[in-house]
Amino acid sequence: MAPQTPAVVMDNGTGYTKLGFAGNDSPSFVFPTAIATKGPAAGAGGSGSGRPAVGQKPSFLTGGAGPGGHLSAKRGTEDLDFFIGDEALGAAAGPGYGLHYPIRHGQIENWDQMERFWSNSIFKYLRVEPEDHYFLLTEPPLNPPENRENTAEIMFESFNCAGLYIAVQAVLALAASWTSSKVQDRSLTGTVIDSGEGVTHVIPVAEGYVIGSSIKSIPIAGRDITYFVQSLLRDRGEPDSSLKTAERIKEEFCYVCPDIVKEFARFDREADDRFKHYEVQQPGGRSVTVDVGYERFLAPEIFFNPEIYSSDFLTPLPTIVDTVIQTSPIDVRRGLYKNIVLSGGSTLYKDFGRRLQRDIRHLVDARIKASEARAGNQAKSGGLDVQVITHRRQRHGPWFGGSLLGQTPEFRSYCHTKAEYDEIGPSIVRRFALLGGPGST
């Protein structure tokens, strides 16, 4: 076994999977976490309802393991007839294949499909021999230990990989922020704001450990911004208001403004500069021009003023972040305020970090002032440093953090090896030594 092979870093998210090798700058592959198998699509349900063709075999063929058992026991040739990623989307568009998303809300729901997804990831995309590589996988915060064990079983028994480390995404996102010049001490204490397509999480991390009781999630993320852009386009009667157009406008034109009234006035004054046009190629070969206006700054505004978009969720993101930190243990709060790290595609808007920092600082300063007044202005506070870290690796933050930590010389000593797994069994992965913790880098 070659000792110098780079570790494989796999970050499987609800929406997208990021694959690559430790030490690299960006993932080698990014594709949807989707699998297309023979048979009908898995309706809207989760794991149970949409079992693939495999599950219809009589039970004696599954080796008595039941429908939840491992695929290795019941693998026939038809099991090899599947696609993952973008190919899966293509195959599902045609007849005969159904599309499935094995991960929901960050957690693996269908292990059969996930195993096949991984096998294709390793053999067809990365084209590596798992025996020769250590693997770094990611998990969401509060992932049950049983899920880790299942993962280890598949990784060691089906793929026979050399070693395995499972890291929490939020911790890796913190590590990814070390590339920013604003970060001086490479600590693993900070608040991670992870906003993807489906949901936004605010996760406090103290010295590499997630403070599970204080995590908050917000039902506003990339998809909602897209819908909001779409509704603004429709209000105006633009010639094309498909979701795809809305998404492209969101990605290309949107930014965060300091104040929406001033921004409206600015659009009045600098109309030529601010209003943009977006050319859409429609299926028939026609192309239409969509005007892009106020949605440029209104769309990301729903993080800071959810009221303008939703009627049932009204708490702004800065307030949520403040609450999360205030409910964390008192001795880490200073560190959490000082290191607020952004991660995920929906945090990429220009000036997102700046606005967030300003709003959180206002909240904190107001509270300090109030408490000083209550103390009769006798005691002065030294102030509290609020800092939001914007960095260049935000988009694939957890993957990049994994790549960073996976290339360190000590990485392998933190992994559990195949030999250790054979000795102790799946329960070994319930605990991992903290990678990148104090004294390791």
Of positions 32, 140, 316, 397, contacts other proteins by CB under 8 A: 316
- Token digits for 317? 């993101």
Contact flag: residue 340 with other proteins (CB under 8 A): no
Q: Residue 159 or 228: which CB sits closer to other proteins?
A: 228
Of positions 311, 373, 380, 382, contacts other proteins by CB under 8 A: 311
Amino acid making up residue 298: L
- Token digits for 437? 């913790």
- Token digits for 295? 């949605």
Contact flag: residue 273 with other proteins (CB under 8 A): no
- Token digits for 223? 């998809």
Window of 49-57, 129-137, 301-309, 410-418 that interacts with other proteins by CB under 8 A: 301-309
Find the binding residues for other proteins in span 356-375 (CB under 8 A).
Answer: 359
Q: Taken in order 135, 107, 103, 70, is the CA torsion positive or negative?
A: positive
Contact flag: residue 260 with other proteins (CB under 8 A): yes
Phi then psi dihedrals of residue 117, to 5 deg: -60, -45
C-beta separation of 92 from 98 below 8 A: yes
Q: Which helix (H) or strand (E) holds 166?
A: strand 163-168
Contact flag: residue 307 with other proteins (CB under 8 A): yes
CA angle 304-172-155, nearest 5°? 130
Of positions 2, 95, 269, 382, contacts other proteins by CB under 8 A: 269
Cα gap 161→281, rounded to integer Å: 46
CB of 297 to other proteins, least distance (A): 11
Contact flag: residue 294 with other proteins (CB under 8 A): yes
Q: Residue 287 or 305: which CB sits closer to other proteins?
A: 305
Q: Which of 398, 433, 434, 427 is nearest to 145 (CA)?
A: 427
Window of 35-43, 83-91, 118-126, 258-266 that interacts with other proteins by CB under 8 A: 258-266
Window of 45-53, 147-155, 264-272, 322-330 that interacts with other proteins by CB under 8 A: 264-272
Instruction: List 364's β-bridge partners, or say none.
Output: none
Q: Residue 266 or 350: which CB sits closer to other proteins?
A: 266
C-beta separation of 280 from 290 below 8 A: yes
Contact flag: residue 237 with other proteins (CB under 8 A): yes
C-beta separation of 22 from 148 below 8 A: no
Q: Residue 237 or 284: which CB sits closer to other proteins?
A: 237
Contact flag: residue 184 with other proteins (CB under 8 A): no
C-beta separation of 132 from 5 below 8 A: yes
Cα gap 233→228, rounded to integer Å: 9
Cα distances (angstroms) measured from residue 385 to each of 18, 69, 209: 34, 52, 22
Q: Residue 281 or 305: which CB sits closer to other proteins?
A: 305
CB of 259 to other proteins, least distance (A): 9
Window of 99-107, 289-297, 336-344, 365-373 that interacts with other proteins by CB under 8 A: 289-297
Q: Inter-axis angle of helices 222-236 and 295-304, to 10 degrees?
A: 140
Contact flag: residue 313 with other proteins (CB under 8 A): no
Window of 37-45, 129-137, 311-319, 395-403 that interacts with other proteins by CB under 8 A: 311-319
Give me the residue label for tokens 């243990």.
329
Contact flag: residue 314 with other proteins (CB under 8 A): yes
Window of 211-219, 306-314, 387-395, 421-429 that interacts with other proteins by CB under 8 A: 306-314
C-beta separation of 74 from 61 below 8 A: yes
Cα gap 110→98, rounded to integer Å: 14
Number of residues in contact with other proteins, rule: CB under 8 A? 25
Contact flag: residue 270 with other proteins (CB under 8 A): no
Question: Where does this chain bind other proteins (CB under 8 A)?
Answer: 232, 235-237, 260-261, 264-265, 267-269, 271, 275, 291, 293-294, 298, 304-305, 307-308, 311, 314, 316, 359
